[in-house]
Amino acid sequence: MVLTDRVLMGPGPSNPYPEATAGLGRPMLGHLDPEFISTLDETCARLREVWKTANPLTLPVSGTGSAGMEAAFVNTLSPGDVVVVGVNGLFGDRMCDVARRCRAEVIRVDAPWGRALDPQQVLEAHGAPKLIALVHAETSTGVRNDVAAVAEGKGDALLLVDCVTSLGGIPVDIDGWGVDVAYSGTQKCLGVSPGLAPFTMGERAVERRVRDPQSWYLDLGMIGDYTSGATRKYHHTAPISMIFSLHAALGALLEEGLEAAWERHASCGAALQDGLQELGLELWAQEGHRLPELTTVVVPEGVDDAAVRTALLERYGIEIGGGVGPWAGKIWRIGCMGHTARMRNVTLLLGALTELLGR
């Protein structure tokens, strides 16, 4: 079988760090093996560094980022609880659906896709919600929402933040900001295969958490007894290889330095966005709120969205993403995350687009 490899510049997965790929090949160990347990402990400790938190309940949930979202809501919301959700893209919208299935009372605060949420509007949507939820980096639009501003005004409410496309790529500061619950995914800026959801929950949220959540698989009380409890009580079999891979990638990230990795994502994003504009393309996300790790650009008039993406894939082996929802066919989403966030990939994509668009 001939294998294909790609330069992954879509909305995720990104190209994994070489250390992540090597980690997948570590020999299998049992999920109660002392050596695996110590690797798991170290993984959770590394996650705390990356999340910038001291939260004891910090761990990789055994599913993709969307499982992290579900774990966050089912352990926080009981039927009838009020939750305010900021929605300016697909993933804010998804939060509303997940919260609704917890039978919570969902109050949406919408902003147009492509623009940032207004923190004040989110804070004023309800007098005393149990929970406020928003997405830090909207993968569907390339917009960064101002988590710090919402955190500052949250009062007694708990704050839940989706960091799927931010963790490891742009500054995230769980304890500094005062975020109570957050989750991410491994396949974006962390540069690991999809399949785990880094997760953290602070003391205020732990005290108010749902004691008997509707999900058995994502019951953080029971999961926490395994990952950090004294008895290591078996809950479900941990995804060993994926945890080895995350462990290795986090090690590489921390060795590079979190600030250096943010800087790498920032400079690649800036070079990409400058280069696209030099090609005459129009950036789509609101200025001042653009993510460096995920750039959205308007498909130029007269250009066939799908034909360009297919040519990039087939002729150059480069994947970029199309728009979703109302923006399908109208924008491109270009990721530069994890191991993909290297100048060589920016140069390659700009060269390919120059050739394809005849600029």
| Residue 29 binds to a copy of itself (criterion: CB under 8 A) | yes
Residues 214-273 that bind a copy of itself (CB under 8 A): 214-217, 234-242, 245
Six-digit token pair at 101?
A: 């299935």
Shortest distance (Å) from residue 199 CB to a copy of itself: 13
Tell me the backbone φ, ψ of residue 320, rounded to 5 degrees.
-125, 165
CB of 20 to a copy of itself, least distance (A): 9
Pairwise CA distance, residues 114 & 92, whole Å:
13
Asked if 167 and 221 touch (Cβ cutoff 8 Å), the reply is: no
By C-beta, is 123 or 160 nearer to a copy of itself? 160
Q: How far apart are CA 92 and CA 161, in angstroms?
A: 10
Q: How far is the CB of 316 from a copy of itself (least distance, A)?
A: 14
Contact between 193 and a copy of itself by CB under 8 A: the answer reads: yes
Cβ-based nearer residue to a copy of itself, 154 or 235: 235
Q: Is 27 in the site for a copy of itself (CB under 8 A)?
A: yes
Distance in angstroms (rounded) separating the CA atoms of residues 51 and 117: 23
Q: Exposure pattern of 202-218 as b/e (b: 16+ CB <10 Å)? A: beebbeebbeebbeebb
Question: Could you tell me which stretch among 106-114, 174-182, 210-218, 278-286 binds a copy of itself (CB under 8 A)?
Answer: 210-218
12 binds a copy of itself (CB under 8 A): yes
CA pair distance 140, 98, nearest whole angstrom: 17
Kindly state whether residue 319 participates in binding a copy of itself, applying the rule CB under 8 A. Answer: yes
Report CA-CA distances (Å) from 192 to 85, 241, 259, 269, 320: 29, 11, 19, 20, 18
- Written as six digits, the tokens of 178 are 């005062």
Judged by CB under 8 A, the residue of 19, 48, 60, 63 near a copy of itself is: 63
Among residue numbers 289 through 318, which ones bind a copy of itself (CB under 8 A)? 313
**Where on the chain is the footprint of a copy of itself (CB under 8 A)?**
3-6, 8, 10, 12-13, 15-16, 21, 24-33, 35, 62-67, 69-70, 94, 97-98, 101-102, 185, 187, 193-195, 212-217, 234-242, 245, 313, 319, 324
